Structure formats: C-alpha cells, structure tokens
Structure 1
Amino acid sequence: MGLITGLLTLPLAPVRGVIWVAEKVNEAAERELHDPAVLRAQLVALNQELEDGDISQEEFEREEERLLDRLHEAFCAPNERR
C-alpha cells in the first residue's frame, strides 16, 4: 500500500478492524460448532439432563439426533465446509 493510498483510506481503518474481528469470531465459532470434542461434551451434558429429569425423552431424542448429525458431519465431510 502506497503512502497516498494509505492516507486516503485511513478513515476506513476502524471499519477494516471491525471486519477483521468479526471474521476471527466467525472462524472460532465454526471451529467450535464442528469440533468433535465439543459435540461429545454436549452429548454427555444432554444425557445428564435426561437422567436429572430436566428434559423429556422427546426433547432428548430430538437434540441427540441433531448433535449426532453434527458429529457425523464433522467426521465425514470436514473439507466440504470450507
């Protein structure tokens, strides 16, 4: 970036910074969304909620299916998300 270009685009620096931060947050969220360790921990917590009577069997089955689908996706198609 040349000096003139740098000076002319200086007012946009805060916007570029916000965009960069938003991209980094999105990347971290995507990693966590598809991290098998996180998904397994969520399954364990879900089982505990069922055992404690915090959720019904129907709620458990619905959420378990959703988590297992995400886990399957994490193992079977890691390169298709990119």
Structure 2
Amino acid sequence: MGLFSGLLLLPLAPVRGVIWVAEKVNEAADRELHDPHVIRAQLAALNQELEDGNISLEEFEREEEELLDRLHAGRVRTAPNHRR
C-alpha cells in the first residue's frame, strides 16, 4: 500500500477494525457452538435437569436432539473431505 492510498483509506481504519473484531467474535462463537466438549457438558447438565425434575421429558428430548444435531454437525464440518 502506497502512501497516497494509505492516506485515502485512513478514515476507513475504524470500520475495518470493527469488522475484524466482529469476524473474530463470530469465529469464536462458531467454534464454541460446535465444540464437542462444550456440547457434552451441556448434555450432562440437561440430563441432570431432567433427573432433578426441573424440565419435562418432552423439553429434554427436544433440547437433547438439538445438542446432538450440533454435535453431529461439528463432526461433519471437521471431517476431512476425501473427494477430489
């Protein structure tokens, strides 16, 4: 980047910084959303809620299915693609 283009783009630096931060936050949230350790901990907590009687069986099954779908989606995303 030359001096002239650097000076012209300088007012956009805060916008680019905000975009960069938003992308990093999105990446971190996406990693945590599909992290198998986090999902397993949530499944364990959900099971404990059911055992304690804090949630109904229907609610447990619905949330369990969502968590298992996330777990499966995380595995599919990280699986190597053998097609060429």
TM-score calculated relative to the size of structure 1: 0.90
Number of the residue aligned with 1:35: 35
Percentage of identical aligned residues:
77
SS of the counterpart of 1:9? helix
Number of the residue aligned with 1:73: 73
Number of the residue aligned with 1:19: 19
List 4+ stretches of structure 1 deviating above 3 A.
Answer: none
Change (3 A) 1:14 1:77: closer
TM-score calculated relative to the size of structure 2: 0.88
Structure 1 unaligned regions, length at least 5 = none
In structure 1, distance between residues paired with 2:35 and 2:60: 21
Deviations 1:6-56 (A, max 9, x none): 111111110000000000000001111111001101101101111111111
Number of the residue aligned with 2:47: 47
In structure 2, distance between residues paired with 1:77 and 1:11: 38
CA RMSD of aligned residues (A): 1.4
In structure 1, distance between residues paired with 2:26 and 2:16: 15
Number of the residue aligned with 1:9: 9
Which amino acid letter does the alignment assign opposite residue 9 of structure 1?
L
In structure 2, distance between residues paired with 1:12 and 1:76: 38
Number of the residue aligned with 2:64: 64
In structure 1, distance between residues paired with 2:79 and 2:18: 27
